[in-house]
C-alpha cells in the first residue's frame, strides 16, 4: 500500500511541475508573417510583421489580442522597443507547434527580443501607400517600400524554412505531401495558386485606411473597437 502512495505522490508532483513549465507565457507564431497592430484591433495601425515560428513572450491579453513588445533595428543601427498586439489565433503553444516543426531548439535564437524575424513599418511608408492610388501595383509598392529587400530576406531566412517543414512531414499534410499529390494530378493548376499566393499586401492598414474613411467602414464605422474601449 505504501508503494502505491509513493507512486501517487510522484504522479502528482510530475503533473504540477509539467503544468508550471507549460504556463511560462511563451507562444509561437503559427501563421506566415503575422501582422502586429498598435492596438488590440485589426483596424488599428500595423506596426510590423512577425515571421512564422517566432517566439513571443506574452505581456498581457485584451480579449482575443495578445500584448507583446519587440525590438526593431532602426536605420541608425540602434534597437528600438516597440509594443504591439497580435491576434491569439495567429499563435500556438510549443507543444502544438512541434507538429509543424521538430527543430524548435535551432530557432530559439530567433526570439523577438533580439529584434529578428520582425519586419517593421515606418510612418513614411504608410504615407506613401496612402497618397498613391488604390491599384494593386500601389499595394505592391507599399509592400516593398516599408523595409529594404535585405531586411525582408533576413526576416524570411531566419523564419522556419521549408526544409525544416519537411522534417515535420511525418505528422501531417505539408509540402512533401502536396508535392507527391501534385505529381499524381498534373492537371491541377498549382501554378495559378502560386500566383494567387504571391498577391500579398504587407501593410493592409496603409492601403485600406483611406478607402474606409469616406465609406464609414473599419475604424471609421460605428463599431470601432478602439473608440468603444475609450468610452468605457
> What is the nearest approach in angstroms of other proteins to the Cβ of residue 76?
31
Q: How many residues bind other proteins (CB under 8 A)?
A: 72
Dihedral sign computed on CA atoms, order 150, 152, 158, 162: negative
Three-class SS of residue 47? strand
Nearer to other proteins, 77 or 172 (CB): 172
d(CA 224, CA 79): 32
d(CA 164, CA 146): 28
Find the shortest distance in angstroms from Cβ 87 to other proteins.
5
Q: Which residues in 195-214 contact other proteins (CB under 8 A)? A: 195-197, 199-201, 204, 207-208, 211-212, 214
Q: Interface with other proteins includes 189 (CB under 8 A)?
A: yes
User: 147 to 186, contacts with other proteins by CB under 8 A?
Assistant: 165, 169-178, 180-182, 184-185
Q: How far is the CB of 43 from other proteins (least distance, A)?
A: 6
> According to CB under 8 A, which one of 27, 35, 54, 107 is a site residue for other proteins?
35
For residues 87 and 64, the answer to whether their CB atoms sit within 8 Å is yes
Judged by beta carbon, residue 14 or residue 74, the one nearer other proteins is 14
Among 2, 105, 108, 187, contact with other proteins (rule: CB under 8 A): 187
> Which residues does residue 35 pair with via DSSP β-bridges, in sequence order?
49
Provide the grid cell at 90. 495567429
User: Which one of 74, 79, 153, 190 is in contact with other proteins (CB under 8 A)?
Assistant: 190
Spatial separation of the C-alpha atoms in residues 86 and 176, rounded to whole Å: 30
Q: Is residue 68 at the binding interface for other proteins, with CB under 8 A as the rule?
A: no
Residue with Cβ nearer other proteins (18 or 81): 18
**Residues 216/41, Cβ–Cβ less than 8 Å:** no
Q: Output the CA torsion 133→136→139→141 (10° steps).
A: -90
Q: Please say whether the beta carbons of 46 and 36 come within 8 A.
A: yes
Residue with cell 507547434: 97
Sites for other proteins among residues 82-121 (CB under 8 A): 87, 89-90, 92, 96, 99-100
**Which residues in 12-31 contact other proteins (CB under 8 A)?**
14-16, 18-19, 22, 30-31
Amino acid at each position: 500500500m505504501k508503494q502505491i502512495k509513493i507512486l501517487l505522490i510522484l504522479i502528482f508532483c510530475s503533473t504540477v511541475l509539467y503544468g508550471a513549465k507549460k504556463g511560462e507565457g511563451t507562444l509561437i507564431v503559427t501563421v506566415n508573417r503575422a501582422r502586429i497592430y498598435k492596438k488590440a484591433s485589426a483596424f488599428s495601425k500595423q506596426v510590423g510583421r512577425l515571421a512564422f515560428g517566432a517566439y513571443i513572450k506574452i505581456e498581457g491579453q485584451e480579449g482575443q489580442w495578445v500584448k507583446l513588445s519587440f525590438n526593431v533595428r532602426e536605420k541608425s543601427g540602434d534597437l528600438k522597443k516597440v509594443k504591439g498586439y497580435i491576434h491569439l489565433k495567429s499563435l500556438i503553444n510549443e507543444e502544438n507547434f512541434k507538429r509543424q516543426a521538430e527543430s524548435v531548439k535551432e530557432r530559439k535564437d530567433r526570439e523577438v527580443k533580439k529584434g529578428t524575424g520582425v519586419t517593421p513599418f515606418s510612418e513614411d511608408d504608410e504615407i506613401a501607400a496612402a497618397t498613391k492610388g488604390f491599384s494593386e501595383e500601389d499595394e505592391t509598392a507599399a509592400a516593398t517600400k516599408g523595409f529594404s529587400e535585405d531586411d525582408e530576406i533576413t526576416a524570411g531566412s531566419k523564419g522556419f524554412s521549408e526544409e525544416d517543414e519537411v522534417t515535420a512531414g511525418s505528422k501531417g499534410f505539408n509540402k512533401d505531401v502536396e508535392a507527391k499529390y501534385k505529381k499524381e494530378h498534373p492537371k491541377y493548376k498549382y501554378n495559378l495558386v502560386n500566383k494567387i499566393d504571391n498577391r500579398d499586401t504587407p501593410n493592409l492598414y496603409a492601403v485600406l485606411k483611406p478607402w474606409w474613411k469616406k465609406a464609414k467602414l473599419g475604424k471609421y464605422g460605428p463599431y470601432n473597437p478602439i473608440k468603444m474601449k475609450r468610452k468605457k
